[in-house]
Amino acid sequence: MIRLILHRLLVSIPLLLAVTLLTYVLDSFAPGDVAATLPQGQTSLKAYLALRHKLGLDQPVMQQYGHWLWRALHGDLGTSYFSGERVVNLLNQRLGVTLSIVVGVLIVCVSAGLLLGALSALRGGIVGRTIDILSIAGLAFPSFWVALILIEVFAVKLEWLPAIGYTSIFASPRLWLMSLVLPVLAVALHSITSIAKQTRDAMGEVMGRDFIRALRASGLSETSVIWKHGLRNAALPVVTVIGLVMISALGSTVFVERIFVLPGLGSLAVEAATNSDIALLQGATLYFTLIVIAINLAVDVSYGWLNPKVRT
Amino acid sequence: MNDVAPLLTVKDLGVTYLLKGGRRFEALKGVNLSVAPGETVGLVGESGSGKTTIGRVILGQTRAQTGRIIFDGEDITHADRARRRALGRDIQVVFQDPYGSLNPVRSIGQTLAEPLLGEAGLTRAAVAARVADILHKVGMPADTASRYPAQFSGGQRQRIAIARAVIARPRLIICDEPVSALDLSVQAQVLNLLNQLQRDMGLSLLFISHDLTVVRHVSRRTIVLYRGEIVEEGATESLHENPQHAYTRALLAAAPIPDPARQRAHREQRRMGDLTWRPEP
Amino acid sequence: MSLQAASGALPAAAPASLLRRLLGRPLAALALLWLSLVLIASLLARLIAPYDPLDQDLLAMRQGPTPAHWLGTDALGRDLLSRLLYGGLPALTGIVEALAVAGLLGVGIGVTAGFYRGRYDRLIVQAVDLVMSLPAIVVLLSILSIFHNSMFAAMISVGLLGSVGIIRVVRSATLAVGSELYIEAARIAGLSDFAIITRHVIARIAGTIIVQLSLFAAVVVLIQTGISFLGLGVPPPAPSWGGMIFDASSVLNNDAFMLVPPGVTVALTVLAFALIGDGLRDALAERWMQRGAGKVAAAGGTAVSLSGPRRAPDLEAVLSLRGLVIHAQGREQPLVNGLDFDLMAGETLGIVGESGSGKTLSVLATIGLLPSGTVVSSGQMLVAGKSYDLSDPRHLSVLRGKVLGMIFQEPMAALDPCFTIGTHLTEVLRARGGLSRGAARARAIELLREVKINDPEDVARRYPHQISGGMAQRVGIARALALRPLVLIADEPTTALDVTVQAEILDLMRGLAASSHMAMLLVTHDWGVVADICDRALVLYRGTCIETAPVAQIFSAPQHAYTAALLRANPHNALPGTELPTVADVWQQQALVP
């Protein structure tokens, strides 16, 4: 098990290097780099070159990347071209919001998805059909559209929850929770249906396997056969899907943070992209990649924990 | 069989598989055998004996680490791809699983035409005629060519698989457990068909099976394989009547006889003579 | 030349019929209709749009649907219908671009990686894992900031990023197909790799590829809309579906209707793409999936039926079955037709038959575990002094384990791979035997010892994948015996095992039955097994019992010609090398209707 975790961590290093290098090289081709950020009236060639030299942009790309990596390892991701603030500080301020949404989505969609999926596999009928319809709707409507509808219904019409904005958990846990409900729902709706559908398929497959009949024949109760043996085996393929669903949910935070005006990493990345703030965008990419690595690690660990063939 | 030059000779064949975690598994350890033209040789062994591996090496599907495969005087152990593809017309195969061996999305006609692809100058009409002819030979209706595997039973599919094996008029067929998945009634039909085709076409068969009884029925000579090694080889009748190796004796003793009285005696003999096979770990 | 010659030998299905088959599926037909509508309307937007999409009518701002503006207007008085029509083209162009990239790369790389395996495949898997871990939307933001607002660059990148998902699925589908015997047969037949890939692999996984591509197209619609929603790619004021949703979001408080036209259009388009893949896959498969049309009945198609006065249940018997009829749902012809048998104390009864005879179904019916799709139409069972109606399987669960124990054909598949051998036994002992944790543990070890497992403590700690098939069947027997049942039902218990292991398992079963005076019901196709262990045999043919007698009599003087023919077809009883009498001959020679 520990070997499994070490292996995943080891594999993550080239991933991290590749992602940062890729974005670094891509970004080095960005047109109009820092010149756009120079104050009016200073756009002389001399000033421009001086700034490029100061930022190290006149060096070869690989060398720049090496410097960036070296500083990154020491916790320094440079300064934002746009605001002049340290990138690490900007990112750290925003991390909590995005993590709150991701964890919220994880909790909601795993519990609801597994339950609904298992129920529909066993019952079929109305539950199954409802999940079918929901999963089609969950797939078809963009998460930002769903977010807008949620705002319209729960914030504008019913006035139950705040439409936009974020309250820190330290300021008021209750308001923090309320500010998260709609964003989490908007993202989770899509994820719940994916997980429920996967659970249903996996459960349907597992319940048809030979050992289920053998367990029943040995005299075990239906409850034990379904919830102990059935769900445990069905969970294996589902865990992998949960990982993929969470990575795609992470992408959805970009939209949802923008709509609900939440100060998270996603909205920061969009700002950085619109302003061509390369240093900030690189930092944001690094943070997103780190979250993905954490998700993959969690998937591996739970998979190993659930599957004795991997563990032993 | 020594007066005729063998069609196939396997010399000192060794195959080692690399398993996960760097462990090695010796599937075959220095196997020697030969098949004469028109001869059927039975190859008997249990799971893990390496009997299927021998077939795969002869067919070029698994690489031999040591030893040589000589077909009709030519060393084909390390034949290149072009030669291998050409050999497909001379050496053919019938597998155990009649469901997995036919591609469900290809019509029977398409499947049967495949071994003929290497023959230059065959027109469409000629291919269709060969397909129709071979279907007739294996006792399948003429409209079979336009149908798909899902429409046939296990026994019928095995007939089709045999048709594919013989359509290019090969000289050697590797039969890898060809009747193990079939019911007794169908098994008899398929064995009869193989026997008849072998006589009519002068085929050589390497008949791989776990079932001594089936092997006794089709082959004059039998080879017993255990954990990658040949433990006994000889004329089928004498091997059955007077087995030399302890494993062969255990194998014969373990196979039940379809006759209650004889089986009771057979079982008592196994117990008294301590013929229960206890493999060393 | 020869290639064409070969394909000429096959009567290819007429190409026109695929469209017809597709239209025969209501959902796929609707999806196709909607997509064609969107395509035509987008291409003809210039001609059919009532207004210029940028024309502002400040006198008609934020109107709901009116006769002049069918879908209403936005905050600047622009006609929503016109903007929707003009927004279609960039969306569809994006799909085509992304789909082309992802399809070519995904199928090309996926198939070759799965087909050739080895180092190339490992490299691809690493690369796929890497790209899968990229937060796609963040990469897109980078791309869009570099290629300033270029939807083309974004969609090509979406294609690149999306191709890994397709590579993954296509690769694993190819891996599965690649280990099929027909691929090996094609290789042996001398086909080139290219021919094998195009004729066998791609043809076989075409359904998977189509579904993946159609699902990907659906996702691309969402991403394209998302990018334009963020104001990137199609910069405002140019019309785009995503941009219209953004416009709607800025006036949410006043006019929520504006969300509806673009939202519904996007949703329907996504849905249509998702559905059309399923339809195409099924329509493609229809050609080769149809079963049995040409199946020739093995025995001349005569239905066998035995009728006679039904005897009353035998009160002396441990288990007495009367009038068991099993049907496949919705089929007229029964799978098991009026089966009766009595199993006496300490007796081993063999139920012998070939595939399709209904032998396994018959014993599964006694414990109420028929596979779905099959039902007991009628049948009574007298066991342990009580009568049970087999057509109501709910009441049969009390019998499982305590009265009727069962072992199966595939001993490994009968064990849950996620739990240890010990757990398999203790959970039954605790749940049904009422033992404490410690007592169950001790009893489990004892049971393993009873089935002649040498190191029971060690085996109890192992998982199913760590033991051999013969060992797994011993564990299966231990579990079946855990609650000391009156009857052990064994469904082909040694068919999957080597002959030397089979002998040991049969010895074990014989010994256990004798020592505990347990009755056994043994399902088998193997006359050798019948001769070895059974006291009496019952021969089933197509769901009907054609003969039942003590084994000595069955073998020496079979009453029914079918039984006699089966015994003669066994090469064991034939002179080596001679023509074997086949069963079909018997049915043909004497139209056997008992």
Q: Among all residues of chain A, which has the CA nearest to that of C273?
A: A140
* Per-residue pLDDT band at C2 (split at 50, 70, 90): very low
Q: Is B251 inside a domain boundary?
A: no
Q: Taking Cα atoms as reference points, which of B89, B93, B94 lies closest to residue B170?
A: B89
Q: Taking Cα atoms as reference points, which of C391, C361, C362 lies closest to residue C379?
A: C391
Look up residue B30 and give its two tokens: 């220095």
Cβ pair A229:C225 closer than 8 A: no
User: C241-250 and C260-289 are packed helices; what angle lies between their axes, rounded to 10 degrees?
Assistant: 140
Cβ pair A285:C253 closer than 8 A: no
* Per-residue pLDDT band at C186 (split at 50, 70, 90): very high
**Distance (Å) from the alpha carbon of C294 to chain B's nearest alpha carbon:** 5
Residues C325 and C463 both lie in one domain: yes
Domain containing C483 equals: 319-559
Give contacts of A 33-52 with C, CB under 8 A: none
Whole-number pLDDT of residue C329: 86
Cβ pair C10:B109 closer than 8 A: yes
Rounded Cα–Cα distance for residues C422 and C478 (Å): 11
Residues of B in contact with C574 (CB under 8 A): 217
Identify the weakest region by mean pLDDT among A147-151, B39-43, C347-351. A147-151
Residues C525 and C587 both lie in one domain: no
Residues C278 and C379 both lie in one domain: no
pLDDT in tens, A272-309: 888 878 788 888 888 988 898 888 888 888 888 888 87
Whole-number pLDDT of residue B31: 95
Rounded Cα–Cα distance for residues B246 and C178 (Å): 39
Total tally of structural domains belonging to chain B: 2
**Distance (Å) from the alpha carbon of C182 to chain A's nearest alpha carbon:** 26
List all residues 6 or more positions away from A81 whose beta carbon is below 8 Å from its beta carbon. Answer: A34, A37, A275, A276, A277, A278, A279, A280
Taking the alpha carbons at both ends of chain B, their separation in whole angstroms is: 37
- Interface B:C, ≥3 CB–CB pairs < 8 Å: yes
User: What's chain C's average pLDDT?
Assistant: 86
Q: Is B145 inside a domain boundary?
A: yes
Among the partner-chain residues C410, C427, C465, the one whose CB lies closest to the CB of A309 is C465
Cβ pair C129:A11 closer than 8 A: yes
Rounded Cα–Cα distance for residues A33 and A49 (Å): 12
Rounded Cα–Cα distance for residues C55 and C66 (Å): 17
Rounded Cα–Cα distance for residues C373 and A171 (Å): 59
Q: Is C13 inside a domain boundary?
A: no
Question: Looking at per-residue confidence, does B72 or C299 come out higher?
Answer: B72
Given 3-state DSSP classes, what are the helix, strand and coil percentages for chain A, each rounded to the nearest 5?
Answer: 80, 0, 20
- The set of chains that have 3 or more CB pairs under 8 A with A is C
Among the partner-chain residues A232, A248, A276, the one whose CB lies closest to the CB of C418 is A232
Question: What are the angstrom distances between the C-alpha of B264 and each of A243, B254, B256?
Answer: 60, 12, 9
In this prediction, residues C130-149 reach a mean pLDDT of 79
Residues B25 and B136 both lie in one domain: no
In this prediction, residues C542-559 reach a mean pLDDT of 93
Cβ pair A31:C136 closer than 8 A: no
Residues of C in contact with A82 (CB under 8 A): none
Residues C546 and C593 both lie in one domain: no
Among the partner-chain residues C192, C288, C571, the one whose CB lies closest to the CB of B105 is C288
A93 in contact with chain C, both atoms CB, cutoff 8 A: no
**Distance (Å) from the alpha carbon of B238 to chain C's nearest alpha carbon:** 13
Residues C285 and C407 both lie in one domain: no
Residues B57 and B6 both lie in one domain: yes
Residues of C in contact with B97 (CB under 8 A): 181
pLDDT in tens, A137-196: 777 888 888 888 888 888 888 888 887 778 877 888 888 888 888 999 988 887 888 888
Q: Is B254 inside a domain boundary?
A: no
Residue B108 gets which letter from DSSP?
H
Residue boundaries of the structural domains of chain A: 32-76, 87-311
Question: Looking at per-residue confidence, does C332 or B159 come out higher?
Answer: B159
* Per-residue pLDDT band at A105 (split at 50, 70, 90): very high
A209 in contact with chain C, both atoms CB, cutoff 8 A: yes
Q: Counting Cβ atoms within 10 Å, is residue B52 exposed (0-12), middle (13-18) or buried (19+)?
A: buried
Probe site for chain C from A218, A229, A288 (most C CB atoms < 10 A): A218
Cβ pair A140:C271 closer than 8 A: yes
Whole-number pLDDT of residue C450: 93
Q: Taking Cα atoms as reference points, which of A265, A79, A24 lies closest to residue C135?
A: A265
Residues C260 and C328 both lie in one domain: no
Residues C492 and C347 both lie in one domain: yes
At residue C346, the 3 state secondary structure works out as: coil
Residues of A in contact with C217 (CB under 8 A): none
* Per-residue pLDDT band at B206 (split at 50, 70, 90): very high
In this prediction, residues C103-126 reach a mean pLDDT of 93
Cβ pair C417:A269 closer than 8 A: no
Question: Looking at per-residue confidence, does A31 or C515 come out higher?
Answer: C515
DSSP secondary structure string for all residues of B221-238: EEEEEETTEEEEEEEHHH
Probe site for chain C from A26, A132, A144, A145 (most C CB atoms < 10 A): A145
Residues B82 and B189 both lie in one domain: yes
How long, in residues, is chain A? 312
Rounded Cα–Cα distance for residues B203 and C403 (Å): 56
Rounded Cα–Cα distance for residues C582 and C564 (Å): 11
Q: Is B250 inside a domain boundary?
A: no
A149 in contact with chain C, both atoms CB, cutoff 8 A: yes
Cβ pair C2:B117 closer than 8 A: yes
Residue C495 bridge partners (DSSP) = none
Residues C242 and C390 both lie in one domain: no
Domain containing B141 equals: 102-169
Residues C583 and C508 both lie in one domain: no
Whole-number pLDDT of residue C5: 37
Residues B200 and B66 both lie in one domain: yes
Q: Among all residues of chain C, which has the CA nearest to that of B144?
A: C294
CATH number at residue B41: 3.40.50.300
Q: Among all residues of chain C, which has the CA nearest to that of B270?
A: C503
Among the partner-chain residues B103, B127, B192, the one whose CB lies closest to the CB of C204 is B103
Tell me the count of B-C CB pairs closer than 8 A: 258
Q: Is C3 inside a domain boundary?
A: no
Residues B188 and B107 both lie in one domain: no
Whole-number pLDDT of residue B276: 64
Among the partner-chain residues B168, B184, B217, the one whose CB lies closest to the CB of C577 is B217
* Per-residue pLDDT band at C103 (split at 50, 70, 90): very high
Residues C482 and C588 both lie in one domain: no
Residues of C in contact with B148 (CB under 8 A): 287-288, 290
Cβ pair A30:C263 closer than 8 A: no
pLDDT at C341 over 60: yes
Residues B152 and B188 both lie in one domain: no
pLDDT at C40 over 70: yes
Q: Is C465 inside a domain boundary?
A: yes
pLDDT at B59 over 90: yes
Complex confidence, ipTM: 0.89
| HEC secondary structure over C208-235 | HHHHHHHHHHHHHHHHHHHHHHCCCCCC
Of B152, B169, B186, the domain-final residue = B169
CATH number at residue C176: 1.10.3720.10
User: What's chain B's average pLDDT?
Assistant: 90
**Distance (Å) from the alpha carbon of A175 to chain C's nearest alpha carbon:** 22
Residues B175 and B165 both lie in one domain: no
Among the partner-chain residues C270, C372, C414, the one whose CB lies closest to the CB of A210 is C414
pLDDT at A36 over 60: no
A310 in contact with chain C, both atoms CB, cutoff 8 A: no
Residues C552 and C565 both lie in one domain: no
Residues of C in contact with A214 (CB under 8 A): 406, 408, 414-415, 476, 479
pLDDT at C587 over 60: no
Question: Which range has the top average pLDDT, A71-80, B31-40, C119-128, C328-337?
Answer: B31-40
Q: Is C487 inside a domain boundary?
A: yes
* Per-residue pLDDT band at C6 (split at 50, 70, 90): very low
Residues C323 and C359 both lie in one domain: yes
Whole-number pLDDT of residue C280: 85
Whole-number pLDDT of residue C573: 81
Whole-number pLDDT of residue A167: 80
Total tally of structural domains belonging to chain C: 3
At residue B69, the 3 state secondary structure works out as: strand
Residues of C in contact with A274 (CB under 8 A): 145, 231-232
Look up residue B92 and give its two tokens: 């053919």
pLDDT in tens, B98-148: 888 999 999 999 999 999 987 878 899 999 999 999 999 999 998 999 999
* Per-residue pLDDT band at C56 (split at 50, 70, 90): confident
Residues of A in contact with C248 (CB under 8 A): 148
Calculate ∠ Cα C143-C146-C151, nearest 5°. 55
Q: Among all residues of chain B, which has the CA nearest to that of C570?
A: B184
- The set of chains that have 3 or more CB pairs under 8 A with C is A, B
* Per-residue pLDDT band at B280 (split at 50, 70, 90): low
Residues B83 and B194 both lie in one domain: yes
Of B148, B169, B190, the domain-final residue = B169
Probe site for chain B from C181, C200, C501, C504 (most B CB atoms < 10 A): C181
In this prediction, residues C478-494 reach a mean pLDDT of 95
* Per-residue pLDDT band at C300 (split at 50, 70, 90): very low
- Helices and strands: H and E segment counts in chain B: 10, 10
| CATH number belonging to domain A87-311 | 1.10.3720.10
Residues B110 and B34 both lie in one domain: no
CATH number at residue C338: 3.40.50.300
pLDDT in tens, A191-235: 888 888 888 888 888 998 999 999 999 999 988 999 899 989 998
pLDDT in tens, A227-276: 899 989 998 889 988 988 898 888 888 888 988 889 999 989 888 888 87
Cβ pair A156:C256 closer than 8 A: yes
* Per-residue pLDDT band at A34 (split at 50, 70, 90): low
Q: Among all residues of chain C, which has the CA nearest to that of A271?
A: C141
Cβ pair C195:B102 closer than 8 A: no
Rounded Cα–Cα distance for residues C470 and C496 (Å): 9
* Per-residue pLDDT band at B2 (split at 50, 70, 90): low
Amino acid, res. A124:
G
Residues of A in contact with C139 (CB under 8 A): 23, 285
